[in-house]
Chains A and B, each alone.
Chain A
Amino acid sequence: MLVKLAWRNIWRNARRSMIILLSVIVGLAAIVLYDSISVGMIRQMLDNQIGAHVSHIQVHNEGFSDNKIIQNYIPDPEKVEAAIQNTPHIRYYSKRVITFGILSSAYSSSGISLIGIDPGKEEQVTKIKESIIEGGYLSGKEHEIVIGKQLAEKLEVGVGDKVVAMASALSGNIGSEMFRVAGIYRTFSSEFDKTHIYVNLPGAQKMLELGNNISEFAVILDDLDQQQQIKTQLAAALNDHYEVLTYKELLPLLVMQVEVYQESIFIFYAIIAVAMIFGIINTMLMSVFERIREFGVLMAVGMKNRRLFWMILLEAFFLGTLGTGIGFVISYLLYLPLSNSGINLSAFSDSLTSFGAGTTIYPVLTVESVISALLVIPFIAVLGAVYPAFKAVRLEPMNAIRYV
C-alpha cells in the first residue's frame, strides 16, 4: 500500500514529476553517450596502435626498446621462435628488422623507420596490407617497398618510382639500397604514415648486414587480456638476454590516456550527480511543503516517522528508476545508429588523426557502463530525497495539522 501510495503521489503534480524525470533522462543520456564515445575512442586508439604496428606482445634483445639500434638484434631468433611456437594462446607472430634511416627520392629525403618484414606473417599481425590505397602489398620480390601516403607526397613519388634507403649497417658502414615503390598505404595516423616504410625481410637483412638475425618478434594473442600471463610464460622460456613487452609497456602514454579517460567518467558522473541532486532536493522539498498538513494527519493517525521517510524516498526512487528506464531507451536508440555509422569528426580530422583515434569515432557501450549508469542514477535520485524526507519527519503532527 505504501508502494501504491508513493507511486500515486508522484503523479499528483505531473508537471513537477516530469521536470524531475526530464532531468534524470537528460543526465542518463549524457552519461551513456559520453561514456560510449570515450570508450569507443579509447578502443579505437588502442586498436589503431595495436593493429598498425605494436601488436600485443613484442620480444626483443635486452635493451632494444630503449635504444633501437641495429646492433641490438636478437642473436638467436630460432630459439625465440621456438619459444613462441611452444607457448599456447599465441595466434600469430611476425619477425621484423627495424632501424632508423633516411629515404630519398630525386626530389627530397626524409628520416624514416625502416621495417623489414615477412609479408605473409606481417599481414596476420598488422593491418598494413589492408591499409594499402595505391599499388600493392609486398609480394616477396627484391627491391619492393611500401610507404605511407604522407611520405609519398613529401618525396613526390608514386607507385613504380625509385627511392633510395640508407641506414647504418651492423658493421657501422652506411648500407644503402635502391627500392621501387610497390604500394602506398594510409592508416589512422598521418604521423605514422610519414615515418614507417616496409621492405622485405631478406632485403633489409642484406642491406644492414644482419645475416639471418632480426630485431623484433611481434605477437598476437587469442585474447588481449592474456597479455600479462603470456608475457610471464614467454619470459620464463627465454633468459635475461631478451625483453618481453606487452602493449601496455610499449604504449605508456596511451595507457595513461586510457586512465585519464576512465577518471574523466567519474568526474562526469559527479557533475551530473550534483546537477541532478540539487534539482531533486528542490522539487522534493516543494512537494513535501505542499503536503505538510497531509503528513500531519498521517502522523496523527499513527504513521511512524520511518514509514513516512521511506515513502518519500520511494517516490524519488520511482522517479529515478522511471527516468533511468526512459532515458536508457532513448539513449540506446541514439546510440545504436551512431555505433553503426560512427560519429564523423572530419571537421577536426587533422588534430584527431595525429591524436590516433581516426576521423570517425564509433561509440562503444559496455555492459559495465550500462550497469553502473542504471544503478548510479536511481541511487542519486534517492540521495536527493534524503534531505526533504528528513524535513518531513521533523514535523510535529499537531503543528502540521494547524498548518494551512
Chain B
Amino acid sequence: MEIIKTIDLEKTYRDNAMPVHALKGISLAIKKGEYTVIAGPSGSGKTTLLNLIGALDKPTKGKVFLEGEDISRFSRNQLGELRLNKIGFVFQAFNLVPVLSSLENVEFTMMLKGIPERERKERALAIMQELSIDMLADKRPNEMSGGQQQRVAVARAIVNNPSIVLADEPTANLDTATGSDLLDLMEQMNRERNITFVFSSHDQQVIKRAKRLLTLKDGKIVEDKMIEG
C-alpha cells in the first residue's frame, strides 16, 4: 500500500528577488514499511521535499497524496490535524520543548490529541522502555546529550503510531557512534513495528544503511534504487 504518492511536484520560493525553483517535478511513491533515504547535495531540495510530504508546506504545482488523500488543497488547520495524527517528525536539532521533561515531551502530542493523562503517561513510558531511554524520563533537554535528545524525539515521533516518520538530517549534529546508535533505533522500529521512515541526509553512514536511496539534484530525482539487505 502506498503511504505517500507525489505527482509532478514543483516548489518555487518567491520571497526573494530571484525566484528559487527548489523542486522541479518530483513524482514518487513510498510504500508502507519502507526505509528511504533522500540524498543529494546541499540546496538540492531535500528539506523542501520532506516539508511537502510532511504537510508542513504546500506545493506550487503538483499533488501530494497521503494514504490516498490529496492533501495539496488542505487548509492550515487541516494540515495541522493531519500532522498530529499521521506524521511523526524528527528534526536536525532542538526537537524538544526545553521546559518539559522527556516524558512530558513524549506525552505532548498525545496531550494535543486529548488523550487522558494516565493513558498518556503509560504509553509514553512504554515507548521509552522499548527504546531503552526510560531512565531519561525525568530529565529536561538541557540535562541530556544531543544523542539522548534525538532518541526522545524519535519516541515522540512514533508514540502516536503515525503512518510515516520524517527525519530531516537527524544525525547531522551527532558524532558517528551516537548517530549509528540512533539509526539502530530507527531500524529496529522499522523492523519490529513496520513503521515507514523517510530521511534526508548527506551523512554517508545514513546513506549506506538505506534500503531505498533517492538522490536529488537541482530539484530533480536523479537516481532511485532499492538496496537489498
- Which residues of A are in contact with B by a Cβ distance under 8 Å? 1-2, 4-5, 8-9, 11-12, 293-294, 297-305, 307, 396-398, 401
Contacts and interface: CB of A to CB of B under 8 A. Distances in A.
Contacts of A303: 80, 112
A301 B94 CA distance: 13
16 contacts: A1-B111, A1-B117, A4-B104, A8-B100, A12-B98, A294-B94, A297-B91, A300-B56, A300-B91, A301-B83, A301-B84, A301-B108, A302-B80, A302-B85, A302-B112, A305-B77
Contacts of B97: 5, 294, 297-298
B172 to A, nearest CB: 13
User: A5, A12, A302, A398 — which one has the most chain B CB atoms within 10 A of its CB?
Assistant: A302
Residue of A4, A305, A401 with highest tally of chain B CB at under 10 A: A401
A298 B156 CA distance: 12
Interface string B139-151: 0000000000000
Given A1-B117, A294-B97, 15 more contacts: A8-B100, A294-B98, A297-B94, A298-B97, A300-B54, A300-B83, A301-B83, A301-B109, A301-B156, A302-B84, A302-B85, A304-B77, A305-B77, A305-B80, A396-B57
A299 B80 contact: yes
B101 to A, nearest CB: 10
A294 B93 CA distance: 11
- Interface of B: prevailing SS: helix
Contacts of A396: 57
A302 B98 contact: no
Interface string B92-122: 0011011110001001110111000100000
Nearest to A304: B80
Contacts of A300: 54, 56, 83, 89, 91
A309 B202 CA distance: 37
A6 to B, nearest CB: 9
Contact of A401 (B85, B91, B107): B91
Contacts of B99: 5, 8-9, 11-12
B14 to A, nearest CB: 13
A4 B108 CA distance: 12
A301 B89 contact: yes
A398 B100 contact: no
B47 to A, nearest CB: 8
Interface residues of B, number: 28
A5 B97 CA distance: 9
A398 B57 contact: yes
A307 B85 CA distance: 16
Contacts of B108: 1, 301
Contacts of B98: 12, 294
A293 B94 contact: yes
B81 interface: yes
A9 B97 CA distance: 10
8 closest A-B pairs by CB: A302-B84, A8-B99, A398-B56, A1-B111, A302-B83, A398-B51, A398-B57, A301-B109
B49 to A, nearest CB: 12
A295 to B, nearest CB: 10
A302 B81 contact: yes
A4 B76 CA distance: 26
Nearest to B84: A302
Interface centre among A11, A299, A397 (most CB of B within 10 A): A397
A178 to B, nearest CB: 88
Nearest to B56: A398
Nearest to A294: B97
Contacts of A401: 56, 91
Most B C-beta atoms less than 10 A away, residue of A11, A297, A298: A297
B166 to A, nearest CB: 10
Nearest to B99: A8
Contacts of B113: 302
A294 B94 CA distance: 7
A1 B104 contact: yes
A302 B109 contact: yes
A285 B60 CA distance: 32
B36 to A, nearest CB: 20
A139 B98 CA distance: 83
A302 B79 CA distance: 8
A207 B83 CA distance: 99
